[in-house]
Every structure is written in structure tokens, then in C-alpha cells.
Amino acid sequence: MYREIINDLKKWKNKSRRKPLLLTGVRQCGKTYIIDEFAKECFDSYVYVNFESSENLLAVFEYDYDVKRIVTELERHFKTKIIPGETLIFFDEIQECPRAITALKYFCENMKELHLVCAGSLLGVALKEKNISFPVGKVNRLQLYPMSFKEFVIANDREDLIEVFKDWPTDRVIPELYANPMERLLKEYYIVGGMPEVVKTWVETHDFAEVEEVQNEILSDYADDFSKHAPLSEIPKIRWIWDSVPVQLAKENNKFVFSHVKEGKRSAELEDALCWLSDAGLITKTELVEKPELPLSGAADKTYFKVYMSDIGLLRAKSRVSAQTIMDETDGFVRFKGAFAENYVLNELKSLGKEPYFWRSGNSAEIDFLFETNGEVFPVEVKSADNTQAKSYKQFCKKYKMRRGFKLSRKNIAENLCEATKTLSLPLYIGWNIDAYI
């Protein structure tokens, strides 16, 4: 299946100042698959080292950090000549070999010409919890997310629709010829999400029951990870927070409230558990910005935030909203409709490399997302229906007079002025192309 990150991998391959690459991403989002595809497409040979399934290879790193010796021993083990510039080495599940993580420093310094990629499940958690000497400044990084809506559309053999909307003009109404299939695909994406195994199941079967079976397996695997990898004292708290996310998202004021996780529990008792889920890539926090000043990270209130799930399909499965409810847009979907639209847009922005925040003025006004690009701040209002009237957005634009803003909804494309802010209304299904309109 097509993944956009392949283009970033190719750029990394040809960088003059290339370093070993650390590929991060939530478990089962397709890291191993995409590196296998990258190796097949761009290299003459490939050495795959899985430290979880081949524990004997840990011994290669126990003696010293002489990278020439390490490469020679890998050649001997895999009976493959490793040729810098022609061979890709992939250290998978690298968290199982802390000395291999430390060795990245020496590969960077002493064998720059070698192409080396590493990845691992729960790597963010492992790096914090284990006593690992991390090679700061000696690695390049890429983040892989679950498949975006654009990638989902392509996987469903509708790349033609992506081509249609690459440069769609703002003054041309989108006809039903293109809008209807995209709206249906978006509903399917809300149900299926972007986990590659789930998408593959959907493409092969078009059976929502089969899809849900795979999603529940992944959710069970995540729950097993809590028991295997989290500190014993944190496991119940992690489960409480994990189960609380869909419920808190569905609230009208969806600020994350620790006291709503478990009665009688305070933030000080639950913060470590929330951080564990964030480090594992399972959730994303967006923080409050009261004044949209650059950089947004400097203006953020880290104590006031919302929490979203990394995959819209898993959110749907965990919320127990039936597929048919979404396809038919029945009343049973009303409670979660806004939450799903917000979580979807958040994940799309993240997949575009943006770091979203949100703005709130007391309890009277809110902008769903703010992001910064090229020294500018852009507000994004999200609506799950075709009503784009938003007092909060108008209030924000009047106060801060941004150059450009966006409204994402079920409404057709249109452009207008809102208190001197040039505002583009985009259908939710082309949020993946927001950069083209900046």
C-alpha cells in the first residue's frame, strides 16, 4: 500500500549530511512494512535485524562499539556482503538492544556512508524507562502515523480522486460526481481508520465485521502492552485513562479532566500514566493557547489540554459506534459526530507534520485547532455538518486579524472574508490538501 513517507525516506537516502535514521510510530502502524518496501525499491541488498526474534544478535554489540567489527559479524551471520551505498541495514525492535541504540553514535561518526534505519515498538516508552545512552544529535528522525485519509483513498483504488483535488480552485463548486464518492470514502475511513492491517482487510473484504475483528485484536494487543511494558503501579491508571479518552472527547467541552477518569483521583496521581500513553504514541495531546503568539509552543498552557486517539478507526471501535450508524448517519451517531470530525482533522494535521494547539477565551469561545507554518498562525474551525456559522471563529478573527483561516465541514468549497481574515471553507474530505491553500 502506498505510504507518503516513502518520499521522505528517499530524501533521507540522498542527504549529504545523512545520519542513522530513527523511525518512530505507534505499534502496528506499518514501520516494518514501509522499510521493507523502501529496501526493495532503492537498494541492491538488505539486512534485516530483529532484536526481539533474534536475541543471539545482541551479543554482536556487547563487546565494543567498533562499527567495522559489528558490520563484519552481521555479514558473517546473514551471509551477505554489506556495501555502503548499496545495502540498507534495518535494526527492528531496537529497544531490545540498548547497546545498539548507543552504537548509532559510532555509526554516525565512523561509517557515514552506510544507510542504517532503526525502529521499535513502544520505543518512546523504552527510551524513557530504560537506562539507555541515547546518541543525541547523531540520528535523523521520521515519524510514521497510521494511514491518512489520502492514503486510504489511494488504497481503495481511487487515486483519480486525489488527482482531481490536488489543485481544485476555490471558486469552483465541487459537483456530486466527485463529492459523493469522497463523502462515502470519508465515512468508511471513520469506520476503518488507518491501521494498515485493518485497511488491508477492508480493501480485500469490504466487510465491516471483519474490519472490527482486526481492530479489536489491535486494541487487545495494546492492552497487553500495558501489562508487559508499563510499570506495575501504573497499569490500572493507564487502563482508566485509555478507557476515558472516547468518553471525554464526546463531551461538549472536551477538555481532558483527570477527575473524570476515576472518581477521587487527582492529576498528580494520573499524569505519569497519561505520559506513558503519549510516549507510546497511542494518544495525542493538544494544549491550550490563550494568545496565538509565535512560537505557539511558547504560549501553550501545558496544564490545560485535550486528548485524542492516534487512529480514528480505533476510536470508533473503542467507542462501540456501529459501522451502519455512521454510514446511515442515524441519531445514534450524534453524540460522537463532532468528536470524530475533530479527531480526524487532528490526525490529518499531524500527518502533514503540523503541531496543533487550540484556543479558548474563557467558556465563551473556542477555535478547534491552531497551527503555525512559515512564521504564521492559522486557525482551523471543524464542523461535523454543513453549518459553518461559528461565533467563536468570528470573535477570534476580529481580535487577532489573521491573514488566512480555515473551516472544515460538510459544506462545499467556498472563500470569503471574516473580519478581514481570508477564510476558506473546505470539505472535510480534502483536509489532506490544506497546505495547497495556505
Query: How many whole angstroms separate alpha carbon 271 and alpha carbon 241?
Result: 10
Query: How many whole angstroms separate alpha carbon 314 and alpha carbon 326?
Result: 14
Q: pLDDT tens across 167-190, in order?
A: 999 999 999 999 999 999 999 999
Average pLDDT over residues 137-165: 97
The helix-helix angle for 208-229 and 235-249 (nearest 10°) equals 140
How confident is residue 17, by pLDDT bands cut at 50, 70 and 90? very high
DSSP one-letter string for 25-52 = -STTSSHHHHHHHHHHHH-SEEEEEETT
In contact, 162 and 130? CB cutoff 8 Å: no
Task: Give the CA distances from residue 271 to residues 62, 127, 288, in Å, rounded to whole numbers and listed in that order.
Answer: 36, 18, 17
Query: How many whole angstroms separate alpha carbon 70 and alpha carbon 327?
Result: 54
Average pLDDT over residues 321-330: 94
Which pLDDT does position 335 carry in this prediction?
85
Which pLDDT does position 388 carry in this prediction?
67
User: How many of the other CB atoms lie within 10 Å of CB of 81?
Assistant: 11
Average pLDDT over residues 124-139: 80
Beta bridge partners of residue 289, listed in sequence order? 300
Which pLDDT does position 393 carry in this prediction?
93
Query: How many whole angstroms separate alpha carbon 354 and alpha carbon 56?
Result: 40
Domains delineated in the chain: 5-143 (3.40.50.300), 149-437 (no CATH)
How confident is residue 298, by pLDDT bands cut at 50, 70 and 90? very high
How confident is residue 106, by pLDDT bands cut at 50, 70 and 90? very high
Residues in the chain: 438
Looking at the predicted structure, is the pLDDT value of residue 132 above 80?
no
Beta bridge partners of residue 427, listed in sequence order? 409
Full-model pTM: 0.95
Share of the chain above pLDDT 90, in %: 86
Looking at the predicted structure, is the pLDDT value of residue 130 above 70?
no
Q: pLDDT tens across 343-356, in order?
A: 999 999 999 999 99
Query: What H or E segment, with its residue span, contains residue 371?
Result: strand 365-373
Contacting residues for 187 by C-beta, under 8 A, at least 6 apart: 326, 327
Looking at the predicted structure, is the pLDDT value of residue 129 above 70?
no
Which pLDDT does position 387 carry in this prediction?
75
In which residue are the cell numbers 535514521 written? 21
Contacting residues for 415 by C-beta, under 8 A, at least 6 apart: 170, 171, 422, 423, 424, 425
